[in-house]
Structure formats: C-alpha cells, structure tokens
A and B are shown apart, each in its own frame.
Chain A
Amino acid sequence: MDAYLIAIAIITAIYVLMALGLNLQYGLTGLVNFGVVGFFCVGAYTTAILSQKGVPQYITFPLAALLAMAFAWPLGLVSIRLREDYFAIVSLGFSEVVRLVATSEGWLTQGVQGIPGIPKMFGTFSGTTQALAVLGLLVVFNLVAIAAMLRIVRSPFGRMIEAIRDNEEAVKALGKDPAGFKIQVLVLGSALTGLAGAAYAHYIGFISPEQFIPLITFQIWMAIIMGGVGRISGALVGAIILMVFLEGSRFLRDVMPFISEVAMASVRLGVVGLALVLFTMYRPQGLMGDFTRK
C-alpha cells in the first residue's frame, strides 16, 4: 500500500509544481497561459534526450528548466502585449506546435516511437527508499518554489505584478511597462513547469508525444481554479483534489456500477468541465481563496 500512496504523492507533487508555476502566471499576474503542457513537454524531452547521451541528472534537471525558460521568452516577447484571451489561444497553439515538433522530428525525439528507458532518479537506491528519495526531492523543489513565491509576493516586484493583474491601465499610467514584468513571470513560471516535466520523464521512464496533450493544461487550470486563484495553498489543495479525483475514479467504479466502464473516460472529462464552469460561475476565488476579493 505504501508504495502506491508514495506513487500518488509523487505524481501529485509534480502537479503541484506545475500548479505553482501557473499560479504565479495567472493567479498573481493574470497571464492566461493555456500552453502549460508545452513547457512540461520541453522539460521532459530535454532531460530524456540528454540522459540518453549519458548526461547526469544533476545537469539535465537545471537544463530542462532553462530550456523551458528559453522557449517561454520568445513566446512572451511576440505575444505578451496581446489581449489576454488572444494570448490564451496563442499559448494553446504553441503547446500544440511543440507536440507536433516532438512527433515529427524523429532524429531528435525518436518521434512517435517515444523515448523508452529513461533512467530513474536516485537509481542507486531501490524499492521504497528510492521512491521516498524521489518524493523528498520533489517536496524540496516545491518548498523552494513556495519560499521563492512568498518572497516575490512581498517584494516590490510582487506588488507590481499584482497591480498588473488588478489594473493594467493604472500601471501603464504610472509610466511602468507591464509587458516586461509579464515576460519575466511567464519565464519564471515556465521554469517550474519544465522542472516538473523533467521529474515526470524520469519517474514514468517513457515519454511519447501523445502524453503531452492540452488536457493536461486544463487539468492544471482546474486545480488552481478549484484550489483558489492567487493563493499558494490553493495550488496545493487544488492539485490534491485533482489527483484524488483522477485516481479516485479508479475506485469509483466499485461504488457506482451504473456508469459503464467505457463511459468512464467521458464522465471524467465531463467532471473536469463541470468543475471549470461551476467554479468560474459561483466561486471564482476557489476553495482556499481570498473571500474579501472577487
């Protein structure tokens, strides 16, 4: 039982990392990034490809984060000044193009065959020790990310990005350029997502382009919207709810036999959709949200 719970905890920690990144982008700055999975994909492939060439993981992990940042920067440069919903679609398109490149450029990514046999993290250990080490590392990643975010929120930079979120026009009127700050935020958040991608690749051990579909992006969105936009605790709680929901449906069939097995995938999708709709309508501040603000 323990190993299964640790496995769930590891996947949850990976989702929390992504949710924190998105929380920085959307929750604190108001950036509608629908391309989360694109950066996740870049991170995963970076570390997978380098590991195949024998590069050690303490180098590939930082490189995964760096490369995700390197992808975020030009995207931000060309599209960050657009209206927020335009940026949303552009970033969604970006993530699809990343997936297409991973599919088509077989010389680099082994294309549709995917990359099998990605080495594990802490491969010198085995069994529960190894799993706990992985979980421990991810917890450290998350704690560092949270600490950094708390510092950001309290810094002048944090006040600036929150001001951009709440009233971009006022920021402009004060003579500051919001675009520069937004690009920085996009790049920072993508680093977390890229790191999450690297951890995912080494944990699952096999990646292929069809794992990086926009559904992942919307699952992370569901997590932060349910948890509470703009709250660090929200990212955590949201990711946990998401995971309980995704894995819980495994046990749901035992108690809800009237849902046919084949319909289950559709039901899962429908619940994600319903959660998105109901939360945006009735509880935009999320479960952990700041109830004084709307």
Chain B
Amino acid sequence: MSGFLELAISGLMSGLVIGLAALALTLVFGVARFANAATGDFMTIGAYAAVFGFTATGSIVIGGLLGLFIGAVSGVISYFLVFRVLEGRPSVSALLASIGVGFIIRSVLGVIYGHGQQVFQLPLVRPWRYFDVRIQPNDLKIGATALLALLVVFLVLHATPIGRRMRAVADDPMLARVSGIAPRKVMFALWAMSGAVAALAGVLLGIRTVIWPEMGWEMLIPVFAAAVLGGIGHPVGAVLAGVILGVVQEIATPYVGFTYKLALAFIILLVVLLVRPKGLFGRVEGVR
C-alpha cells in the first residue's frame, strides 16, 4: 500500500511536468488553432538556459528565471519569424512548420552542446518517512513551484487586461477583432506565455532527470495526450489531465510492462478521442 502511494506521488510529479507542457500546448492551440509540435523543444531550450544560468550564478532561482525568459523569447521569435506568416493557412501547414522549428532547435542545441548530458548539480537528500510512506523533499519543492506557476498563469488569464483579451480571441477571433482587440499584441503575449510555461516544464524535468537535446521532443506524445484529454484550449483541463496521465502511467505500468509506458499514453489518447473528443473538461468544439 505504501508502495502504491509512493508511485502515486511519483506519478503526480511526472504529471505536473506533463501538465505544464500540455498547458503551453493548449494555450497556443486555443488561440492559434494548431498543435505546436515544437512545444517539447521549447522545454529543452528552457532547461539548457536554466542550467547555463545555474552554473554561472549557482542559484537555481536565477537559473530557472533565465530559463523562463529564454523560453518566452524563443516563443515570440518563432511566432514572429514563422507562425505569424502562416496565419490563415491550413492548420497542417503550421503543424509541419512547428516540426521543422523543433528540428532546427534540436540541431542548434546539438551543435552547441553536443549530445552528452547536462545536469543540475543540486544536492540530493534522503527521504522523510511518514507512516512508512517516503516523501522526498525535492518533490515538495518541484510541486510547489509548479503550483505557483499555474497560479500566476491563471491570474494572468483571468485578472489582467491582456489575459481577458487572450480569452476573447480564443473564444471568437472575429468578435474580438470587431470589439477592437489588436490581435498582434495578444499573439505576442500568448507566445511569450506559452514559451515560458513550456520552459518551466523543461526546467522541472531537467531537475528530475538529465538535460539533452531530445529531452522535450521525447515527451510530445504524453503531452499531446494530456492536452486532448483536458480538452483543447482548456488550461485547467490540461493540467489536471497531465496529472491524471502521470499517475495512471506510473501506477499501471508495473502491470502492463515497463516498456509499454508510452503506449499507455497513446491508448488513453485514443480512447478519449473516441469516447469524448472534446476532452474531459473541454467545451463543445469542432473536433470531429
């Protein structure tokens, strides 16, 4: 039983990372209406920038903030150079271009850093025990950071003028335009936010694991599954779905076999699309 609980906690941590990345994906999907396959690579950029900042300053907070900043900048640049041009084209064009953008990011990181691993040299500590359940202090910190970030994102979305405009554009772009919302400005804010959220997911993943050029791309299928599960364009849903996915993957794989962990995410994705294409929390949208 305690083992079960520990797995659930571990799944919760993985799930928060997946959930944050799914949030970044769903933000863009909700407004720009395409699946940004480079989301995972924004995670990677964030992690590399953070490890750079951390090594230079010795502070994980400064490193993390640098990661977020670089993630936001990458989001804005890719919008400005690529996705702005593709607005109004079929969503497949933007999807293909985003795969290309991801390849370019990995290529640049590979040339600069090589394919060896980088790590955050953070102190590891032995766990605390509560009634036979092991609680890892680092998990608490990661969890708290993720929750704080989510709080900030939701405050921005719901309590600031730019957030209201974003939601307006997501609901109905035409109506938003008619009511005098400048779409360009909203898009810049959106891509910056999506980039920063993805970068944070990358930093947390990097702290838990190791940093290498493909780390974000490898997460794409679970991340997309979470975004769909939560209902595309639905931020709260994305995060909750990420957590559910993380916990289910961790608890179920000892029974289905560890090599099929990824397949589990895929099957959940397929089942949700079949049974409830608008996702667990999504509003009715033209999915079919």
Contacts and interface: CB of A to CB of B under 8 A. Distances in A.
Q: Do chains A and B make direct contact within the complex (CB under 8 angstroms)?
A: yes
Interface string B16-49: 0000000000000000001100000000000000
Interface in B106-129: 106-111, 114
Contacts of A221: 96, 99
A110 interface: no
Contacts of B96: 221, 225, 276, 280
A100 B258 CA distance: 11
* Size category, A interface: 35 or more
The contact size tier of chain B is 35 or more
Contacts of B260: 100, 104
A281 B85 contact: yes
Given A89-B224, A96-B221, A269-B110, A277 B262 contact: no
A89 B268 CA distance: 13
A273 interface: yes
A271 B114 CA distance: 17
Interface stretch (B1-9, B154-162, B269-277): B269-277
A86 B288 CA distance: 10
A79 B91 contact: no
Contacts of A103: 259
B104 interface: yes
Given A97-B266, A100-B262, A266-B110, A273 B287 contact: no
B92 A32 contact: yes
Nearest to A271: B107
Contacts of A284: 89, 93
A61 to B, nearest CB: 29
Contacts, number: 129
B92 A85 contact: yes
A176 B92 CA distance: 24
A270 B103 contact: yes
Interface string A247-270: 000000000000000110111011
A100 B263 CA distance: 8
B110 A281 contact: no
- The B interface is mostly helix, strand or loop, or mixed, namely helix
Contacts of B106: 266, 269-270, 273
The interface centre, meaning the residue of A82, A274, A280 with most chain B CB atoms within 10 A of its CB, is A280
A104 B259 contact: yes
Contacts of A45: none
Contacts of B228: 86, 89
A271 B270 CA distance: 33
B100 A273 contact: yes
Interface string A86-120: 10111011101100110110000000000000000
A97 B263 contact: yes
Nearest to B91: A85
A269 B92 contact: no
B97 interface: yes
B108 A270 contact: yes
A263 B269 CA distance: 36
3 smallest beta-carbon distances between A and B, as pairs: A273-B103, A270-B107, A276-B100
19 contacts: A78-B274, A79-B270, A82-B277, A84-B91, A86-B273, A86-B277, A86-B287, A90-B270, A93-B225, A100-B260, A104-B257, A104-B260, A218-B99, A266-B213, A270-B107, A273-B101, A273-B104, A276-B99, A280-B96
Interface of B: 34-35, 82, 85-86, 89-97, 99-104, 106-111, 114, 213, 220-221, 224-225, 228, 257, 259-260, 262-263, 265-266, 269-270, 273-274, 277, 286-288
